[in-house]
């Protein structure tokens, strides 16, 4: 029996993980952390019976503790990070956006394995996080479907055998759009992803291909390849989750349905595989698979991410935070989707001129706060 901490339980990834835990007798949810969605959290708590709970609101925490006598301690507010630091065989880091970084770091205190969905942790503080996890002997298993696929394809391969890593992208809802057409899309259209069902923030990022940009940075940091050894190929059927190109011309690909339960279960069970009762992907039903290059004239987000990781220092952090605030503004219909590219370019150029390294997690947080304040102000003026 393995103990699991679910962090971000009420989100898209968190709910998929709950379904796995409800079905798996070899996994036991010991800690459950969510933000504000008390209704869904209560259902999950009744089902999984965790010993520890953490959430943002004091009132929710106290009421939950009162109503579920098996809960030993309910943390709230800043204290939620203490819940993340509880001992666990596996910690699932699935809070959305930059807020997830603090939980990932807190979990390094108590977790033996980190199943990492929150890609922002690696984008914002990748080197610090990887070093800290390694120092503490924590196994890192990527949950992001592409990186999970790469991790699987890399099993048994020496780095010297590998030419490049290929991230596949669905292309999002606006594949084939012109820049002009992209400028006039609504949040409702952008939230309609063709193949994956995900939280709002990552769905918008998929529509701008910023998600793929973040994933290029994530891949560099996870697997230690140079940025130019990370390719991006659009594959609209989302059946191949990523590929590894070998020096001899062979390509290894991982295939399966577009269901996040697969990479989550892999990250939980590695190196073993358990039998789960979900529908298995059928190649005959899918039929044709297609591939094309992303249109980088319409989507400059990829080139900007490449610039950010090549320059390093503050720039990946800038890319992440500027985008995150722009996504909020776009969802509130204060800016156009294509304004996201404008602000990314503007900020990357400015911070590129005064770039510097990041020394510590506190340094990351301070720099992130500064960028956040500035971009919010710029967006308010719009
Ligand atoms: P969602 O928006 O669906 O869920 C976010 C979760 O985080 C919710 O449980 C929310 O709680 C919680 N949360 C938000 N802020 C806080 C906070 N300050 N403290 C505690 N909890 C908080 O996101 P997703 O599940 O889509 O994504 C989660 C992460 O996984 C992201 O980093 C994303 O990039 C990554 N990812 C997601 C994929 C997907 O298929 N969804 C695929 C690959 C990666 P509440 O709702 O209760 O307020
Ligand atoms: Mg992904």
Which tens digits make up the pLDDT trace of 119-152? 999 999 999 999 999 999 999 999 999 999 999 9
| Ligand 2 center–CA 144 separation, angstroms | 5
Question: To test the ligand 1 pocket, which listed residue (80, 120, 199) has its Cβ within 8 A of the most ligand atoms?
Answer: 199
CATH number of the structural domain spanning residue 259 = 1.10.1740.10
94 close to ligand 1 (CB < 6 Angstrom)? yes
Same domain, yes or no: 164 and 306: yes
**Residue bearing the CA closest to ligand 1, atom 10:** 35
pLDDT at 301 over 80: yes
- Answer yes or no: pTM beyond 0.95: yes
* Residue 258 shares a structural domain with residue 352: yes
pLDDT value of residue 101: 97
**C-alpha gyration radius of the chain:** 20
Measure 200 CA to ligand 1 centroid, in angstroms. 9
Shared domain for 188 and 129, answered yes or no, is no
Kindly tell me the burial class for residue 277, based on how many C-beta atoms sit within 10 Å of its own C-beta (0-12, 13-18, 19 or more).
Answer: exposed
* pLDDT for residue 381: 79
For the chain, the first-to-last Cα distance in angstroms comes to 53
Residue at a domain's end among 143, 170, 190 = 143
Give dist(CA 203, CA 284) in Å, integer: 28
DSSP assignment, residue 314? Answer: T
> Count of CB atoms within 10 A of residue 334's CB?
13
Which numbered ligand comes closest to the C-alpha of 149?
2
Atom of ligand 1 nearest to the CA of 197: 40
Residues 53/27, Cβ–Cβ less than 8 Å: no
Per DSSP, what are the bridge partners of residue 207? none
Last residue of a domain, one of 143, 160, 190: 143
Q: Which atom of ligand 1 is nearest to the CA of 15?
A: 25
Nearest-atom number in ligand 1 for the CA of 200 is 2
Split into its structural domains, the chain has a count of: 2
Indicate if 215 and 291 belong to the same structural domain: yes
pLDDT for 162-185, tens place per residue?
Answer: 999 999 999 999 999 999 999 999
| Separation between Cα atoms, residue 359 and residue 344, nearest integer Å | 23
Which of 295, 298, 302 lies closest to 344 in space, CA to CA?
Answer: 302
Residue of 69, 219, 96, 102 lying closest to 150 (CA atoms): 219
CATH number reported for the structural domain that contains residue 80 in this entry: 3.40.50.720
Q: What is the dihedral of CA 292, 296, 300, 305, to 10 degrees?
A: 60
Q: pLDDT (tens digit, 9 = 90+) per residue, 66-108? A: 999 999 999 999 999 999 999 999 999 999 999 999 999 999 9
Pocket test for ligand 1, best of 95, 129, 264 (most atoms within 8 A of CB): 95
Do both 181 and 237 map to the same domain?
yes
Average pLDDT, the chain: 97
* Spatial separation of the C-alpha atoms in residues 340 and 262, rounded to whole Å: 32
* H or E stretch at 15: helix 12-23
Q: Is the CB of 170 under 6 A from ligand 1?
A: no
**pLDDT value at residue 155:** 97
Q: Are residues 207 and 324 in the same domain?
A: yes
Residue 101 and residue 152 in one domain: no
Which tokens is 30 given?
């010991």
Q: What is the pLDDT of residue 196?
A: 87
Q: Are 135 and 211 in a shared domain?
A: no
* In a shared domain, residues 56 and 139: yes
Q: Tabulate helix, strand, coil % of the chain (nearest 5).
A: 50, 15, 35
Ligand 1 pocket: which of 7, 8, 18, 167 to mutate (most atoms within 8 A of CB):
8
Residues 40 and 89 grouped into a single domain: yes
Q: Distance between CA atoms of 312 and 356, rounded to whole angstroms?
A: 8
| pLDDT more than 70, % of the chain | 100
Q: How far apart are CA 52 and CA 5, in angstroms?
A: 9
CA 145 to ligand 2 centroid distance, Å: 5
Nearest CA to ligand 1 atom 43: 144
The finding on whether 13 has its CB within 6 A of some atom of ligand 1 is yes
335-368, pLDDT tens digit by residue?
999 999 999 999 999 999 999 999 999 999 999 9
CA distances from 4 to 10, 32, 131, 326 (A): 15, 9, 23, 34
Closest to 219 measured CA to CA, from 208, 227, 211: 227
- CB of 11 shorter than 6 A to ligand 1: yes
Full residue range of the structural domain in which residue 128 is found: 2-143
pLDDT at 251: 98
What distance in Å separates the CA atoms of residue 143 and residue 146, rounded to the nearest whole number?
A: 8
Answer whether residue 382 shows pLDDT above 90. no
Q: Is the CB of 10 under 6 A from ligand 1?
A: yes
Stretch 272-294: mean pLDDT, rounded?
93
With a 6 A CB cut-off, is 37 part of the ligand 1 pocket?
A: yes
Banded model confidence at residue 49, pLDDT cuts 50, 70, 90: very high
Examine the domain organization and report whether 189 and 46 are in the same domain.
Answer: no
Residues 191 and 305 occupy one common structural domain: yes
Regarding the beta carbon of 205 and ligand 1, being less than 6 Å apart is answered no
Q: Which one of 127, 143, 159 terminates a domain? A: 143
Residue 311 pLDDT > 80, yes or no? yes
Question: How far is residue 98's CA from residue 201's CA, in Å, rounded to a whole number?
Answer: 11
Q: Quote the ligand 2 centre to 125 CA distance (angstroms).
A: 18
**Is 240 in contact with 175 (CB distance < 8 Å)?**
no
């Amino acid at each position: 029996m393995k103990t699991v901490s679910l962090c971000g339980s009420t989100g898209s990834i968190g709910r998929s993980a709950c379904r796995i835990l409800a079905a798996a007798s070899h996994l036991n949810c010991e800690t459950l952390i969510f933000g504000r969605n008390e209704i869904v959290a209560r259902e999950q708590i009744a089902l999984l019976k965790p010993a520890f709970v953490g959430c943002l609101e004091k009132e929710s925490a106290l009421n939950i503790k009162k109503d579920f006598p098996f809960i030993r301690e309910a943390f709230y507010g800043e204290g939620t990070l203490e819940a993340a630091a509880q001992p666990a065989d596996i910690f699932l880091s699935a809070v959305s956006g930059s807020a997830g970084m603090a939980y990932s770091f807190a979990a390094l205190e108590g977790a033996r394995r980190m199943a990492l969905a929150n890609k922002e942790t690696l984008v914002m503080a990748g080197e610090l996080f990887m070093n800290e996890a390694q120092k503490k002997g924590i196994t890192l298993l990527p949950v992001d479907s592409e990186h999970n696929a790469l991790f699987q394809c890399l099993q048994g391969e020496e780095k010297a055998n590998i030419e490049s890593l290929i991230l596949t992208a669905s292309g999002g809802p606006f594949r084939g759009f012109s820049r002009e057409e992209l400028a006039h899309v609504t949040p409702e259209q952008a939230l309609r992803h063709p193949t994956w069902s995900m939280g709002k923030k990552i769905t918008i990022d998929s529509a701008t291909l910023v998600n793929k940009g973040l994933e290029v940075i994530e891949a560099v940091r996870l697997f230690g390849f140079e940025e130019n050894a990370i390719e991006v190929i659009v594959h609209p059927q989302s059946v191949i989750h990523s590929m590894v190109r070998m020096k001899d011309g062979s390509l290894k690909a991982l295939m399966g349905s577009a269901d996040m339960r697969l990479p989550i279960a892999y990250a939980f069970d590695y190196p073993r595989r358990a039998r789960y009762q979900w529908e298995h992907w059928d190649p005959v039903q899918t039929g044709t698979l297609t591939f094309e290059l992303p249109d980088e004239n319409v989507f400059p987000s990829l080139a900007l991410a490449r610039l950010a990781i090549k320059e390093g220092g503050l720039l990946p952090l800038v890319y992440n935070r500027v985008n995150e605030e722009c996504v909020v503004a776009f969802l509130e219909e204060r800016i156009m989707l294509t304004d996201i590219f404008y602000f990314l370019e503007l900020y990357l150029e400015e911070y590129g001129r005064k770039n510097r390294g990041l020394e510590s997690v506190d340094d990351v947080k301070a720099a992130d706060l500064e960028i956040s304040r500035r971009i919010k102000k710029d967006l308010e003026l719009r």
